[in-house]
Amino acid sequence: MKFELFDLERNQSLFENEVDYNLSESGVHPLKISEILTDDEQRELLNKNLYYGYTNGTPELRQRVADMYGDTFSIENVLITSGSAEANFLSIMTQLESGDEIIYMVPNYLQIYHLARSFGIIVKSLPLHQELGWQWDVDELKSIVTPKTKMIVVCNPNNPTGALMNPEVMDGVIEVARETGCWVLSDEVYRGAELDGVECRSFAGATDKTIVNAGLSKAYSLPGLRLGWTVGSETYINRAWSFHDFTVINVAYLSDWVASKILEYSRRRKILDRTKDHLNHNLNMLCDWAEHVPALTITRPEAAAITFAKLNIPMSSEEFVFNLRDNFSVLLTAGKWHGMEGFVRFGYGTPEEYVRSGLDRVSDFCKKY
Ligand SMILES: Cc1ncc(COP(=O)(O)O)c(C=O)c1O
């Protein structure tokens, strides 16, 4: 089978551990086990037998996840996956076929974009508009929907802009999905990392054919657990679970156990409050820095440890990123890898001093070029 390269992940995989300053990460600096479990729990963890566990996730963890989406959700609506990446993979593999058409938000993470195209699915990219505060124009959405449209795919909060979808736009998407009977797939892995500390509205339950994918890698600062989930109707969950038998069988038992502890409401709030404080602090620093860098314009994001900076110099996003990487050992991601030229993405979730030192090198680079 021929498949497209996932430029964003490929470039990160190759260089994120080689550069002095990796500002290509979109999550918050990872937590340690000792910071999230009590002493008793840490001892319990050391004495765990390493079972397979439940292939769809333990009932305890599925209940914690279901609770995050309100009373209408039960453990039957949740499948635990290996990161939200696997959740996205399962959603595409179980609901779409070659020749189907999907509408896809750009700029974006592009996992679903490349994957779907590799399987012969027609992907119609629909841009967010910066002048609308990185929102979709709902009329534009209505104009490109056809009877062949099987799914509308969104990322909210959005990667790479850090924008939140307006309630009116969300209502518009749901209306279009209801009228056409198509699926809505909402990647909400950045939900919980809002800068004002208020979790944004989820698409979960918006229609019978809505899928929400998320996980612990971003807002929860726990990418090393490789823990995600997919939420939807029981029929969808059973189908996704059947496909999950072929992918990873199940998530590591220890990750499932740790996640079920930390997703208890008050503990999960504590982690999200840490995220909010850290992001606000670093973002203020980043915005102050950007005022002295005419080569870039930064729009304040509303969520996530990322900002999509406009390039004010005649250089492509890849040229900027490759030159910066090779001459100043700082890694960013190129707008091109997110489906939109003319921008580069900064991740600012690492410790303050680390971000500051990386930004100093970006200043030196911008002065030189
Ligand atoms: C929008 C989006 N979805 C999914 C993923 C995959 O994350 P994970 O599998 O760690 O949950 C990422 C990673 O950057 C992302 O940005």
Q: Is the CB of 358 under 6 A from ligand 1?
A: no
User: Which atom of ligand 1 lies at the shortest distance from residue 155's CA?
Assistant: 1
Q: Which of 115, 217, 227 to mutate to test the pocket of ligand 1 (most atoms within 8 A of CB)?
A: 217
- Measured in angstroms, how far is the CA atom of residue 85 from the centroid of ligand 1? 6
Phi and psi at residue 114, to the nearest 5°:
-70, -40
DSSP codes of every residue in 257-325: HHHHHHTSHHHHHHHHHHHHHHHHHHHHHHHHHHTT-TTEEEPPPSBSSEEEEEE-SS--HHHHHHHHH
Whose CA is closest to 126, among 143, 103, 101? 103
DSSP string, 124-175: EEEE-BGGGTSB--HHHHHHH--TTEEEEEEESSPTTT-PPPPHHHHHHHHH
What DSSP designation does 109 have?
-
Residue nearest ligand 1's atom 2 by CA: 109
Domains of the chain, CATH where assigned? 7-32+271-368 (3.90.1150.10), 49-266 (3.40.640.10)
Q: How many angstroms separate the alpha carbon of residue 13 from the centre of ligand 1?
A: 14
> What is the C-alpha to C-alpha distance for residues 303 and 199, in angstroms, rounded to an integer?
10
CA of 346 to the centre of ligand 1 (A): 16
Distance 90 CA to ligand 1 centre (A): 14
Nearest residue to 293 via CA among 353, 195, 368? 368
Length of the chain, please? 369
pLDDT at 1: 87
Q: Is there an atom of ligand 1 within 6 Å of 317 CB?
A: no
- Specify the ligand 1 atom closest to the Cα of 226: 10
Token couple for 234: 């029981």
Q: What's residue 230's pLDDT?
A: 99
219 token code pair: 């807002």
Question: Does residue 223 line the site of ligand 1, with CB under 6 A?
Answer: yes
Q: How far is CA 288 from CA 251, 285, 295, 300, 350, in A?
A: 41, 5, 14, 11, 17
- The response to whether residue 157 sits with its C-beta less than 6 Å from ligand 1 reads no
Q: Cα(first)–Cα(last) distance of the chain, in Å?
A: 42
Instruction: Return the residue whose CA atom lies nearest to atom 1 of ligand 1.
Output: 109
Other Cβ atoms within 10 Å of 174 Cβ, number: 16
* Ligand 1 neighbourhood includes 155 CB (under 6 angstroms): yes
Task: Check if 84 has its Cβ closer than 6 Å to any atom of ligand 1.
Answer: yes
Distance 320 CA to ligand 1 centre (A): 24
* DSSP assigned state of 28: P
**Is 85 a pocket residue for ligand 1 (Cβ < 6 Å)?**
yes
- Provide long-range contacts, Cβ within 8 A and 24+ apart, for 206-210: 206/170, 206/174, 206/177, 207/174, 207/177, 207/178, 208/233, 209/177, 209/181, 209/182, 209/183, 209/184, 209/233, 209/236, 210/177, 210/183, 210/184, 210/185, 210/186
pLDDT tens-digit profile, the chain (369 residues): 899 999 999 999 999 999 999 999 999 999 999 999 999 999 999 999 999 999 999 999 999 999 999 999 999 999 999 999 999 999 999 999 999 999 999 999 999 999 999 999 999 999 999 999 999 999 999 999 999 999 999 999 999 999 999 999 999 999 999 999 999 999 999 999 999 999 999 999 999 999 999 999 999 999 999 999 999 999 999 999 999 999 999 999 999 999 999 999 999 999 999 999 999 999 999 999 999 999 999 999 999 999 999 999 999 999 999 999 999 999 999 999 999 999 999 999 999 999 999 999 999 999 997
**Max Cα-Cα span within the chain:** 58
pTM: 0.98
